[in-house]
Amino acid sequence: MRTATKQTLLHLAVLIGLAVAALLAGLLLDSSFVSRTTQNWTYNIAINIILAVGLNLILGMTGQFSIGHAGFLAAGAYTAAVVAGKPEFIAPQLNFWHFTLGLPPSAAFVIVFVTGAIAAMLVASILGLIVGLPTLRLRGDYLAIATLGFGEIVVTLIYNTPYLGRATGFDLYGALSFYRTASDTPAPMANVIKTHLDSTNVLVGGFWVVLAALVSILVVRNIKYSTSGRALLAIREDSIASEAVGVATTRYKVTAFIIGAALAGLAGAVLSHHIALNPSDFTFMRSVEIILIVILGGAGSISGTIFAAIFVTLLPEILRQLLGGESDKWRMVIYAAMIILVMLFRPKGLFGPYEITDVWRWVLKRFIRGRSSRRPLVTPGVSTLVAEQQPLAEAEAQPILEARNVVMQFGGLRAVDNFNLTLMPGELVGLIGPNGAGKTTAFNVLTGVYRPTAGEIRIAGQSIVGLQPHRISQRGVARTFQNIRLFANLSVLDNVMIAQHAHHEQGLTSAILRTPAFFTEEELSRERALGYLDIFGLADVSHELASNLSYGDQRRLEIARALATRPKVLLLDEPAAGMNPTEKRELMHMIQNIRTRFGLTILIIEHDMKLIMGISQRIVVLDYGKTIAEGLPAAIQKDPRVIEAYLGASAGHG
């Protein structure tokens, strides 16, 4: 607990440091030492950083290709401008903050900016929710088209709304000046506005601009390195596997969309106090620019996004120096060419998934501390993991899993036809059948990947028909896949930590604020994950990418990940496929071991008859989706129906 508190205090110190850095940077930006041109470029860089880290949460970390981000920027910009520039909004705010509470005009206008920024983030978040809920069930090109449509709708609405200035746009500085000189504006109010406008050449100080960018970076960084961040990265890697380990993919996609939209709204608030708004500033071109920053920097890399934002922001000026007046005509072509080149030759971006902190750790390891710098492996004993598992006693009479008359029909094809299965607590049952018999489809139905056309499925007496896969996982059903579905670009350790997702209590707020409870839970999760890896002999490679493991180790990792969900029922789909005889024997010994020690009920699909007959207590046989036989291994081997299913009618009638 002391360590967790220290980490929270360290994070608080970082926040204070960022605030001080923002203050110093703001003072420098607003001073006479910095030219107006440099000031403008700095503001633009900060705005693009906020936009890009927000989109990186959606595109880079979650893998959702949204190309309507400029729509959220526009919504935030116009909302903040209305709050700070329309008489019906600015007058009551100044009356309260200045005339009632006596704050100086500069402080009152800062609060007006903050109020506008909050309103901008709120409006953008609501739009993110409205857009996210229906569209995030789409994938790939369909999602891109839907979000593109949203961006164009926002711009069209602005063009056709007189209140927002239509094609003329909305100039906040001009709106305040007009209100100051209006005949019905009270003299004290006019004087306050005049004092503020005369005292500064910008409507919001550099401190707030830099602080907004730094806070955006910190928020996204804290999300990335948390339970929620790992869930987002898992969704990007494989949404089906994510659901199988308890991650609510739709909820996380929508959450990422809302946060990304909120950050775009914040960027819009800063923009509205920096330039005169015009709907032409929020077209598809602006969305492409933001996408370019994310792709160039690297999907999921915050450091890469920052450097790419600086480069892309300065690129128009570079092009103007090289091409003169022709630069705007060529800018879109150059952006498109850059995206194509990066996708061809550096598909993971300039930074890939890495951060500056990763480079620093590599330097420490390579040149200063040597290989011993890696954190020591601390793994809980198997007894601790078993105690957390809380298995059902084998003697219990109630079935742990029941499938009754289950049908799965795809058009005219019945892949599963009146499938029946009963698993008692602690059993190890084999599910066999010829290729195409419907075994994997049965697994998909049992785990919620497919909703059965008919029939009933119960876990511990409770129906799970119609539940999403992550809900079924949380009820205690874990699985592996016929074709290995690991989170290939994540570490071995992260693969198993993600599987503990449903058992974590600290949510997004705790992750962003870095509370002591968050650090305590993270450390416990890490230790548990290492414990599960240790059972399968993988703890020493916990920092390797899952894709770098050998085939056999990947199979073991997938089982370790399934075990980390703390299941009651474990479904293994051909776990020994592709292994040599020695690896198969070792794996089967591990499966027997975890069944005994964790009290699991295991259903296993396997084509190696010697292996499945040797390990199973009972065998269920499928053919053309139907259960044709069930019994002890010795009886199944002699059953004519089974022999016929595998070898044909002539063999069955001997």
Chain segment 198-218, per-residue pLDDT in tens: 666 556 677 888 889 999 999
pLDDT at residue 652, rounded to an integer: 45
Q: What is the DSSP string of 527-596?
A: HHHHHHHHHTT-GGGTTSBGGGS-HHHHHHHHHHHHHTT--SEEEEESTTTT--HHHHHHHHHHHHHHHH
Q: What is the pLDDT of residues 150-184, one digit of tens each?
A: 999 999 999 999 999 999 989 888 788 877 777 67
**Amino acid sitting at position 291:** I
Is pLDDT above 50 for 372?
Answer: no
CB of 284 closer than 8 Å to CB of 70: yes
Between 172-181 and 69-85, two packed helices, what is the crossing angle to 10 degrees?
A: 20
Q: Is 520 contained in some domain?
A: no
Q: Is 10 contained in some domain?
A: yes
How high is the mean pLDDT of the chain? 86
Q: Which of 169-183, 239-253, 357-371 has the lowest mean pLDDT?
A: 357-371
Assess whether 139 and 258 both reside in one domain.
yes
Percentage of the residues of the chain whose pLDDT score is greater than 70: 89
Is pLDDT above 50 for 36?
Answer: yes
Is pLDDT above 50 for 105?
Answer: yes
Cβ neighbours of residue 210 closer than 8 Å, sequence gap 6 or more: 21, 22, 25, 26, 29, 42, 46
CB of 150 closer than 8 Å to CB of 68: yes
CB of 435 closer than 8 Å to CB of 606: no
34 burial (CB, 10 Å; 0-12 / 13-18 / 19+) is middle
Q: How far apart are CA 75 and CA 281, in angstroms?
A: 12
Q: Is 471 contained in some domain?
A: yes
Assess whether 246 and 332 both reside in one domain.
yes
Q: How far apart are CA 473 and CA 566, in angstroms?
A: 9
Cβ neighbours of residue 356 closer than 8 Å, sequence gap 6 or more: 303
pLDDT at residue 424, rounded to an integer: 93
Is pLDDT above 60 for 396?
Answer: no
Give the CA distances from residue 96 to residues 101, 102, 189, 265, 297, in Å, rounded to whole numbers and listed in that order. 6, 8, 12, 25, 44
Assess whether 432 and 343 both reside in one domain.
no
Assess whether 323 and 405 both reside in one domain.
no
Assess whether 268 and 338 both reside in one domain.
yes
> Phi, psi at residue 597, to the nearest 5°?
-80, -30
Assess whether 182 and 235 both reside in one domain.
yes
Assess whether 418 and 318 both reside in one domain.
no
Q: Is 498 contained in some domain?
A: no
Sorting pLDDT into bands at 50, 70 and 90, what band is 224?
A: very high
CATH value at residue 437: 3.40.50.300
Q: Is 515 contained in some domain?
A: no
Q: Which of 67-76, 138-147, 191-200, 588-597 has the lowest mean pLDDT?
A: 191-200
Q: Can you give the residue range of the structural domain that contains 411?
A: 392-491+559-652
pLDDT at residue 199, rounded to an integer: 64
> Phi, psi at residue 252, to the nearest 5°?
-70, -35
Q: What is the pLDDT of residues 500-516, one digit of tens each?
A: 988 888 888 898 988 88
Q: What is the pLDDT of residues 436-472, one digit of tens each?
A: 889 999 999 999 999 999 999 999 999 999 999 999 9
228: enclosing H helix or E strand: helix 227-237
Q: How far apart are CA 601 and CA 594, in angstroms?
A: 10
Assess whether 8 and 63 both reside in one domain.
yes
392-419: average pLDDT: 83
Q: Is 268 contained in some domain?
A: yes
Q: What is the DSSP string of 589-643?
A: HHHHHHHHHHT-EEEEE-S-HHHHHHH-SEEEEEETTEEEEEE-HHHHHH-HHHH
Is pLDDT above 70 for 61?
Answer: yes
Full-model pTM: 0.88
Higher pLDDT pick, 373 / 488: 488
Q: Which two tokens stand for residue 529?
A: 């994950």
Assess whether 404 and 347 both reside in one domain.
no
Assess whether 398 and 336 both reside in one domain.
no
Last residue of a domain, one of 305, 334, 357: 357
Last residue of a domain, one of 357, 384, 417: 357
pLDDT at residue 447, rounded to an integer: 95
Percentage of the residues of the chain whose pLDDT score is greater than 90: 49
Sorting pLDDT into bands at 50, 70 and 90, what band is 349?
A: confident
Q: Is 265 contained in some domain?
A: yes
Is pLDDT above 90 for 78?
Answer: yes
Q: What is the pLDDT of residues 379-394, one digit of tens each?
A: 565 555 655 665 454 4
Question: Tell me, what DSSP letter sits at residue 466?
Answer: T
152 burial (CB, 10 Å; 0-12 / 13-18 / 19+) is middle
Which residues lie across from 401 on neighbouring strands?
Answer: 423, 459
Q: Is 512 contained in some domain?
A: no
Higher pLDDT pick, 639 / 397: 639
Q: How many domains are contained in the chain?
A: 2
Last residue of a domain, one of 314, 340, 357: 357
Assess whether 315 and 439 both reside in one domain.
no
Assess whether 216 and 166 both reside in one domain.
yes
Length of the chain: 654
Q: Which of 65-79, 275-289, 310-324, 621-635 has the lowest mean pLDDT?
A: 310-324
CATH value at residue 352: 1.10.3470
